[in-house]
Amino acid sequence: MTGSRWTAADVSPQHGRVAVITGANSGIGFQTAIVLAGRGAKVVMAVRNLDKGRAAREQILATVPAAKVSLQQLDLASLESIRAAAEALRSEYPRIDLLINNGGVAWTSKQTTRDGFELQFGTNHLGHFALTGLLLDTLLPVPGSRIVTVSSLAHGTLADIDFDDLQSARRYSRIPAYARSKLANLLFTYELQRRLGQAAAGTIAVAAHPGVSYTELGRNLPSILQPATRFIGPLILQSAAMGALTLLRAATDPDVRGGQYYGPDGTGERRGYPVVVQSSTRSHDLDLQRRLWSVSEELTEVRFPI
């Protein structure tokens, strides 16, 4: 580590480890994949669009010719696709070291998943909840295995869980809906870590956020804002490679502890190098964590083996 600044150079050798990364074909997921592949991990890029996934895989191989990178089709907005992907992954990789729940959508117009869930909550939270539950028994036997779930600075603003209108059937606003899904990511991580600890499991659950990074998530902003975002974004936002450092540290630093939350060290956690940060008071509400877990099990029909 250079001084107090943790960088990609600090990622330890990952030879023999299997890392499954959702949404790995672009943005911080892609940057995470290329670093882990360069350190010797077997990287599984779990992506919705296989054509984009193949193009991303070729980019990694052009940079790291010896990389071990494979693709798995996964649509986080479909429980059927999640179950099929989990079955394929369990068959191919009976032992998984890292599950990085990165993929997602942001600021979409009002839409639903194939199962009728509000799209952002259904994709960002319920999709990853189901995938994690279906893959957990491939992680539990592996010493040092980790589940890293990506949240956002947005989780602390306009964020609440309205169990009386969980799918935003009565009222929908794209920014609060995104914030709610990111709060759910943290509630899930903390409750998962509590359950892993009670089970005396060697697997840990950790969360991370990439600050304000320039990625493709902005494609769903209102059209009037997109030209300005494309022009100004690269000038004021940190790169996807910098944003990915928080995921990489959460996934690989031997000093990481279960239940920690990593974000950038700069002003307002908007940019910088990865450090342990604090999430909102709301995210630490034990009753909220447990209730969301119970509701998520009911909606996805996925039960965790802990």
Range of the domain at 286: 12-300
User: What three-state secondary structure class fits 66?
Assistant: coil
> Tell me, what's the pLDDT at 226?
42
Flag whether 4 is in a domain. no
State the CB neighbour count (10 A cutoff) for residue 305: 10
- Cα–Cα dist 230/264, whole Å: 22
Task: Out of 178, 214, 261, 273, pick the active-site residue.
Answer: 178
> Tell me, what's the pLDDT at 223?
52
Distances (CA, A) of 285 to 132, 160, 185, 290: 22, 11, 13, 9
Flag whether 6 is in a domain. no
| Residue-wise pLDDT tens digits, 27-80 | 999 999 999 999 999 999 999 999 999 999 999 999 999 999 999 999 999 999
Flag whether 27 is in a domain. yes
Q: How crowded is the C-beta side of 93, counted as CA atoms within 13 Å?
A: 25
Note whether 296 and 126 are within 8 A (CB). Answer: yes
> Tell me, what's the pLDDT at 221?
52
Flag whether 252 is in a domain. yes
- pLDDT band at 220, cuts 50/70/90? low
- Cα–Cα dist 258/193, whole Å: 6
Flag whether 209 is in a domain. yes
Whether 4 has a pLDDT exceeding 80, the answer reads no
Note whether 136 and 306 are within 8 A (CB). Answer: yes
> Tell me, what's the pLDDT at 233?
47
| Residue-wise pLDDT tens digits, 239-285 | 999 999 999 999 999 999 999 999 999 999 999 999 999 999 999 99
How much of the chain exceeds pLDDT 70, in percent?
Answer: 91
Number of domains in the chain: 1
- pLDDT band at 225, cuts 50/70/90? very low
> Tell me, what's the pLDDT at 275?
98
> Tell me, what's the pLDDT at 157?
76
Note whether 239 and 213 are within 8 A (CB). Answer: yes
Flag whether 7 is in a domain. no
b vs e for 242-272, b when ≥16 Cβ sit within 10 Å of the residue's Cβ? bbbbbbbbbbbbeebebbbbbbbbeeebebb
Give the pair of three-digit tokens for residue 68. 């071990």
Give the mean pLDDT of 281-306: 97
b vs e for 78-109, b when ≥16 Cβ sit within 10 Å of the residue's Cβ? bbebbbebbeebeeebeebbbbbbbbbbbbbe
Flag whether 306 is in a domain. no
> Tell me, what's the pLDDT at 289?
98
Q: What is the DSSP letter of 90?
A: H
| Residue-wise pLDDT tens digits, 89-115 | 999 999 999 999 999 999 999 999 999
Domain harbouring 24, CATH code: 3.40.50.720
Whether 229 has a pLDDT exceeding 70, the answer reads no
Annotated active-site residue 178? The verdict is yes
Whether 304 has a pLDDT exceeding 70, the answer reads yes
> Tell me, what's the pLDDT at 236?
60
Flag whether 2 is in a domain. no
> Tell me, what's the pLDDT at 224?
44
